[in-house]
Amino acid sequence: MNEQGLKGLVMNKKYLWLLAISGFLISFDQIIKMYVHTHFTLGESYTVINNFFNLTYVRNFGAAFGFLAESHPSFREIFFLTMPPIALGIILTILRGVKNDDTKQIIALSSIFGGAIGNYIDRLRFRYVIDFLDFHLYGKWSWPAFNIADMAIVGGVGLLLFLMFMENKNKESEVKS
């Protein structure tokens, strides 16, 4: 392989990561959602860990934790069908500026990207998102149901925040030195 071809391959490494990570997350998320959608009735719950974790079929018409679920259906539909493509464009723009060897940031952005597409597929197909991971504690405390795509988004954002914190901490250390 000549130097030009090798340089092109290296430059595309981050996009290969994006395709691999987001592709895996989208597939995994959609397979489980389709299983829940076709094998559970709405509201049906299966206990995985007694008094702690169930698989429960929930339809989320809003965003995280039901945000905007009670808003006017026309507004909600327009909002949830237009925002994800904008967010995906922003992620791709940010990724473009990321160094090819910044694997942690590439993984974080790819996770957010894959999670956003996973939930967007639901919105396009059903006009709601299928949630199924239901954590609770003896019926006294309950976390809103969520899905694999939500975990990917939250995990990616969490990793980005951690990386930003560490970068700022390193800059502060350099200034003090």
Phi, psi of 68 (to 5 degrees): 70, 5
**68 within 8 A of 81, measured Cβ to Cβ:** no
With respect to residue 4, please indicate whether it lies within any of the assigned structural domains.
no
Q: What does the alpha-carbon distance between residue 98 and residue 88 come to, in Å, rounded to a whole number? A: 15
Tens of pLDDT along the chain (177 residues)?
A: 555 555 555 558 999 999 999 999 999 999 999 999 999 999 999 999 999 999 999 999 887 666 776 777 788 888 888 999 999 999 999 999 999 999 999 999 999 999 999 999 999 999 999 999 999 998 789 999 999 999 999 999 999 999 999 988 777 777 676
| Domain membership flag for residue 64 | yes
Q: Is residue 123 part of a domain?
A: yes
Question: Which entry of 29, 122, 134, 150 is annotated as an active-site residue?
Answer: 150
* pTM, entire model: 0.87
Torsion, Cα 139 142 144 146, to 10 degrees, reads -80
Is 59 within a domain?
A: yes
On whether residue 6 sits in a domain, the answer given is: no
Does residue 7 sit within a domain? no
Concerning whether 134 is annotated as a catalytic residue, the answer is no
Of the candidates 29, 122, 131, 134, the residue annotated as catalytic is 131
Does residue 176 sit within a domain?
no
Q: Which domain holds residue 96?
A: 14-170
Residue 35 resides in a domain = yes
122 is an active site residue: no
Sheet holding 45-49, edge to edge: 45-49, 53-60, 129-137, 141-142
